[in-house]
Amino acid sequence: MNSSIQLAERRSDTSFGGFVAAAKAAGDLVVQPRMGFSTVEQMRAGLIAVKNAGVRATGTITLDSYTRVGLHGSARRALDNSDNLNGYPLVAHGPVVTRAMLDGVMDETFPIQVRHGAALPGEIFLTLMAAGLDATEGGPVSYCLPYSRTPLHVAVDAWTRACEVLTSRADQGQQPHLESFGGCMLGQLCPPSLLVALSLLEGLFFRQHGLQDISLSYAQQTNLDQDIEAIRALRALADDLLPDVRWHVVLYTYMGVFPRTEEGALTLLEDSARLAVRSGAERLIVKTPAEAHRIPTVAENVRALEIAASAAEAERLLGPAAVGTRPSAVEDSSVYQEARTLVEACLELSPDIGTALRTAFARGYLDVPYCLHPDNANRARSVLDPQGRLEWLQTGSMPIASSYQAGSASQLQAAEFLDMLNFVSNGFDTKALNARPGDRRGEPRRSLTS
């Protein structure tokens, strides 16, 4: 473990973004679980376990399904009936209860982010702020298209108001933090250039509505080299487009079909930590081997954090990370060029980012493959090339060309699509057959891409 970690250190900047910036300055990767429990007692115990894990971590309060769709009465009844929910019902518990739950847990050494999945987050934002929290995530596109049938224009208006709620905290001398989920659309099979573009566009939306401390997301995909190219493109474009706000990059351990073997899942987790270090990402949101089967326990979440932090430290010791670097070739990469084209095409539609996003989706200039939301054109399609890189098979009306040249087929067969969905899980589970048994935190595993 990096000896520079000082969990009791005091900092002048006690914000979520300040915590990540301090970790970056110390050479540490911040790791974060997706943890959420329905009762106050469970949630507090989980946060304390993460805080005491001995790694540079932030806490997470992940909300339940009732809360994310605004069914707060149903969440309250579930609590009254002692029913288990798949997350923390923030609004049903209320700010007073949540503030008490956080007492003695959240401090400058351990910031906490609320993760929710709501297309209409207004009540959630008001409650989290009243409870003393000021870090959360989502976005008008990324929490609308995959997760709801809310019309995009309604979500854009709702997120405009939600941003204004957060910025009222800045008026009080605090620095709220908002993370775009745009780099994680559908979890898998979205080519990296669109992930980069959507993350940047939501970041621009946040800035336009007053946020000065943001993070830009990217979800690990199917090819290590392509992912490094994508995150470097994201960083380069953010340097150009967001020079006047504080930002960092958050990487998500693979969000698609997860390996079913423990060995395969842990190798994939370690790969994501290595990717974070090599690409310069400052924060990593982890997954556990339990993901393919059930909701993970607190102990499983803590173990995943420990393994990811250990893998990141081992990678860091191999040589300098790519933090802050802009290789001369980054502007020549296909991911960079496509992402810039998509962002610029959107921005040309209107000086108001929300209006530009609505118009871009209406015209098909932005089009998420396999996304069934009514406001998505759903004409774009992706495909894996022989090296496992995600490429465009069809681009619909987007202002970029199809990048897949192998063969002449323009339609995927059902079997091919299923193979794509399971490419990562099958690959890592197959590699697991040759892995050594025993403690998974020792010698590094052989990854799918090494």
State yes or no: pLDDT of 51 exceeds 50. yes
What would the DSSP string read from start to end of 9-66? ---S--SHHHHHHHHHHTT--EEE-----SSHHHHHHHHHHHHTTSSSB-EEEEBPHH
At residue 313 the predicted structure's pLDDT band, cuts being 50, 70 and 90, is very high
CA angle 410, 411, 412 (to 5 degrees): 130
Query: Using CA atoms, how far apart are residues 295 and 285, in angstroms rounded to an integer?
Result: 15
For residue range 248-271, what is the model confidence (pLDDT) as tens digits? Answer: 999 999 999 899 999 999 999 999
pLDDT, residue 331, reads 76
Q: Which of 325-334, 354-363, 433-442 has the lowest mean pLDDT?
A: 433-442
- Beta strand pairing call for 381-384 and 390-394: antiparallel
pLDDT, residue 449, reads 46
Region 229-247 average pLDDT: 97
State yes or no: pLDDT of 329 exceeds 80. no
pLDDT, residue 324, reads 45
> What ranges in 348-413 are assigned the alpha helix state H?
353-363
- Extract the tokens encoding 406: 């192998």
Handedness of CA 264, 267, 268, 269 (dihedral sign): positive
- Rounded mean pLDDT of the chain? 89
Nearest to 61 by CA among 30, 34, 93, 99: 34
Region 202-214 average pLDDT: 97
- Amino acid (one-letter) located at 173: G
Contact call for residues 140 and 356 (beta carbons, < 8 A): no
For residue range 381-398, what is the model confidence (pLDDT) as tens digits? Answer: 999 998 899 999 999 999
State yes or no: pLDDT of 10 exceeds 70. no
Query: Using CA atoms, how far apart are residues 18 and 356, in angstroms rounded to an integer?
Result: 31
For residue range 88-131, what is the model confidence (pLDDT) as tens digits? Answer: 999 999 999 999 999 999 999 999 999 999 999 999 999 999 99
Region 133-156 average pLDDT: 96
State yes or no: pLDDT of 86 exceeds 80. yes
pLDDT above 70: percentage of residues in the chain: 88
For residue range 409-441, what is the model confidence (pLDDT) as tens digits? Answer: 567 788 888 888 888 888 888 877 665 554 444
Nearest to 57 by CA among 285, 317, 320, 312: 285
Query: Using CA atoms, how far apart are residues 248 and 280, in angstroms rounded to an integer?
Result: 9
Region 311-324 average pLDDT: 76
CATH class of 11-450: alpha beta
CA atoms within 13 A on the CB side of 55: 26
Termini Cα distance of the chain: 24
Query: Using CA atoms, how far apart are residues 398 and 366, in angstroms rounded to an integer?
Result: 6
- Residue 167 CA from chain centroid, whole number: 22
Domain boundaries, the chain: 11-450
pLDDT, residue 325, reads 47
pTM over 0.85: yes
Q: Which of 227-236, 304-313, 439-448 has the lowest mean pLDDT?
A: 439-448
State yes or no: pLDDT of 5 exceeds 70. no
For residue range 163-181, what is the model confidence (pLDDT) as tens digits? Answer: 999 998 766 667 899 999 9
Region 16-28 average pLDDT: 96
